[in-house]
């Protein structure tokens, strides 16, 4: 059985990992200073032991993005994933602007309410930018950082210039079109066979949630996550693992090396034969690298020299 807050289209999911994760999505009310009422927040929690992993999804996505990676990490480690404010199946209160500051505040109060100990923060694509922002603001809460094909080195999206009536609703509704989403999904994979109906469902179930349009418009109009300055990235002291598909057609491959140069205690590992979503296209290899990194006791100077 799927939770009541998950759209009924979830019944059409076919892959076992998708079905299992969707069935295990939970919802809790998180009190924040952002809203007079608690925000109903959706998340997945699995496994036990070790430093907890906290997985952060990408733009216009949800916890379902980690359907193949989370079970592998959770075999011997406590693992969390949360739908960021304005995304996934988390409630979208009408009074919010869904800025990056709002997202970070909501994420902090989720962490405080349910985890409340240092984590290994894992961010994919836009989630990488959110993870960087969180780490810079709350460095004591992040033990290690993992960036999977991370955003954060590109200025704000040109879509933000279209976010005024009526073009804002036209632009957001464009993302609802099945063929458009299928094209986007195909571009994230090197192996196009992975852009299946199940993948399309996982990427689009949350579009049926209340206020999806308004939240996407507000977030994009705010500018979203722009480019972090190299000097700012240099303030990250946590050991950082950068994972990047060698055939990434969404962000390309140049930013991987730029992140490596900018973040002092970082190492870059290329995922071969892989596009923008290593956690979906090569989950076993991605999990192995993250688990190895989580147990790595290499001194900072050794990491920096790689």
User: How many angstroms separate the CA atoms of 120 and 50, rounded?
Assistant: 10
CATH match of 8-304 with 3.30.565.10: no
pTM of the model: 0.93
Tens digit of pLDDT at every position of the chain (306 positions):
899 999 999 999 999 999 999 999 999 999 999 999 999 999 999 999 999 999 999 999 999 999 999 999 999 999 999 999 999 999 999 989 999 999 999 999 999 999 999 999 999 999 999 999 999 999 999 999 999 999 999 876 544 444 444 445 555 666 778 888 889 999 999 999 999 999 999 999 999 999 999 999 899 888 899 899 999 999 999 999 999 999 999 999 999 999 999 999 999 999 999 999 999 999 999 999 999 999 986 443 344 433
């Amino acid at each position: 059985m799927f939770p009541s807050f998950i759209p009924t289209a979830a019944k059409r999911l076919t892959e076992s990992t998708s079905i299992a994760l969707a069935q295990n999505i939970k919802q809790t009310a998180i009190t924040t200073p952002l809203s007079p009422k608690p925000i109903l927040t959706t998340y997945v929690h699995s496994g036990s032991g070790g430093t907890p992993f906290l997985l952060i999804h990408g733009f216009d996505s949800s916890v379902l993005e980690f359907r193949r990676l989370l079970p592998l990490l959770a075999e011997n480690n406590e693992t969390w994933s949360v739908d960021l404010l304005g995304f996934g199946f988390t409630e979208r209160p009408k009074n919010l602007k869904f800025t990056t500051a709002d997202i970070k505040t909501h994420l902090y109060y989720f962490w405080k309410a349910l985890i409340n100990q240092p984590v290994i923060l894992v961010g994919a694509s836009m989630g990488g930018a959110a993870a960087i922002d969180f780490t810079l603001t709350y460095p004591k809460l992040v033990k290690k950082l993992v960036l999977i094909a991370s955003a954060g080195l590109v200025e704000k999206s040109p879509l933000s210039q279209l976010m005024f009536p009526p073009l804002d609703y036209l632009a957001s509704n464009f993302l609802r079109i099945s063929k458009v989403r299928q094209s986007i999904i195909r571009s994230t994979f090197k192996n196009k066979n992975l852009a299946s109906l199940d993948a399309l469902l996982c990427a689009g179930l949350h579009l049926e949630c209340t206020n999806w349009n308004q939240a996407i418009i507000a977030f994009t109009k705010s500018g979203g996550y722009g480019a972090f300055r190299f000097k700012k990235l240099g303030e990250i002291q946590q050991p950082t693992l950068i994972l990047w598909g060698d055939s990434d057609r969404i962000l390309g491959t140049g930013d991987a090396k730029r992140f490596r140069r900018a973040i002092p205690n970082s190492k870059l590992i290329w995922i071969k034969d892989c596009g923008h979503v290593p956690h979906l296209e090569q989950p076993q290899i991605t999990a192995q690298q993250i688990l190895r990194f989580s147990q790595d006791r290499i001194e900072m100077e050794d990491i920096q020299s790689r």
